[in-house]
Amino acid sequence: MARARILAGAAAACCALATAPAPLARAAQDTVGGVEIHLVSPVDEAYVSGVVALRAEILPLAAAARVEEVTFAVDGRIVCRLTAPPFACEWDAGHRVEAHVIRVVATLPEGRVTDSVRTRSLDLTEIVDVDAVQVITVVTDDQGRFVRDLPREAFHVYEDGEPQTIAHFASENIPLEATAAIDISGSMKMAMPEVKAAVRGFLTALQPDHEVTIIAFNENLFTLSRRGTDPGARARAVDRLAAWGSTALYDAIMYGYDLLGRRSGRRAMVIFTDGDDKVSHATVEAVIRRAESSDATLYMIGQGQAAGNVDLQALLTRLADISGGRAFFETDPERLAPIFDDILQDLSNQYLISYQPTSPVNDDRWRTIRVEVDGPGLEVRARQGYRRVRQ
Give CA 250 to chain center in angstroms.
10
291-327 residue pLDDT tens: 999 999 999 999 988 888 999 999 999 999 999 999 9
Pairing status of strand 351-355 against strand 36-41: unpaired
pLDDT for 127 equals 40
Other beta carbons less than 10 A from residue 73's beta carbon: 18
pLDDT band at 29 (very low <50, low <70, confident <90, very high): low
pLDDT tens by residue, 9-23 = 544 555 443 333 333
Task: Enumerate the domain spans of the chain.
Answer: 31-118, 124-172+350-386, 176-347
Task: Indicate the range of 103-117, 159-173, 357-371 predicted with least confidence.
Answer: 357-371
What is the reported pLDDT for 261?
Answer: 66
**pLDDT class of 95 with cuts at 50, 70, 90:** low
176-347 adopts what CATH topology?
Rossmann fold (3.40.50)
Same fold for the pair 31-118 and 176-347: no
Homologous superfamily of the 31-118 domain (CATH): Immunoglobulins (2.60.40.10)
What Å distances lie between residue 233 and 14, 39, 139, 200, 270, CA to CA?
15, 26, 35, 11, 20
User: Is residue 107 predicted with pLDDT exceeding 80?
Assistant: yes
351-355: strand order across its sheet: 166-170, 351-355, 133-140, 379-382
What band does 25 get if pLDDT is binned at 50, 70 and 90?
very low
Burial class (CB in 10 A: 0-12, 13-18, 19+), 312: buried
Q: What is the mean pLDDT of the chain?
A: 86
**Residue 1 above 70 pLDDT?**
no
> What is the value of pTM for the model shown?
0.72
Task: Summarize the confidence of residues 107-126 as an average pLDDT.
Answer: 79
